[in-house]
Amino acid sequence: MAMPTFEELDAFQYAVDLTVAIYRATSEFPKDERYELRRQLRRASISVVSNIAEGQGRLTNGEWRQFLSQARGSLFEIQAQLIVALRLELLDEARHRRLRSAVIKVAKPLAGLIDYVRRRGA
């Protein structure tokens, strides 16, 4: 059975959804946050998407697993940044919960993908 392309992976599709949600949420941040937390959240969300895609294009399972690990690390970074955004009142509780749920939605299939690659050996 052939591995689906990265575009077909749930982890990738959910990561794209998360990125869109983060871009929309951060577009409402004040102008003085444009180059700080807003940029960091956006960069981390794009990192998740990019690392899933780039990892599948690598030649070995070890390389792929490393890129998936980087994607997972970026998810943790997003979680931490969302906590800061909530405490700074840049996000309200409802939007924070929705974004955290979107992070979890990515994390579950990403963990499964990491396990799959790990089991394939590397």
Q: pLDDT (tens digit, 9 = 90+) per residue, 38-81?
A: 999 999 999 999 999 998 888 788 899 999 999 999 999 999 99
Classify domain 22-119 by CATH number: 1.20.1440.60
From the number of C-beta atoms within 10 Å of its C-beta (0-12, 13-18, 19+), residue 50 rates as middle
Distance from CA of residue 11 to its chain's centroid? 9
Predicted confidence at residue 34, as pLDDT, reads: 67
Rounded to 5 degrees, what angle do the CA atoms 106, 28, 24 make?
A: 35
Positive or negative, the CA dihedral 104, 77, 9, 46 is positive
Residue 27 pLDDT class (50, 70, 90 cuts): very high
Predicted confidence at residue 45, as pLDDT, reads: 98
Positive or negative, the CA dihedral 97, 99, 104, 109 is positive
Predicted confidence at residue 77, as pLDDT, reads: 98
Alpha helices, H only, the chain: 10-26, 37-56, 61-87, 93-119
Predicted confidence at residue 17, as pLDDT, reads: 98
Q: What tens digit of pLDDT does each residue of 73-119 get?
A: 999 999 999 999 999 999 999 999 999 999 999 999 999 999 998 88
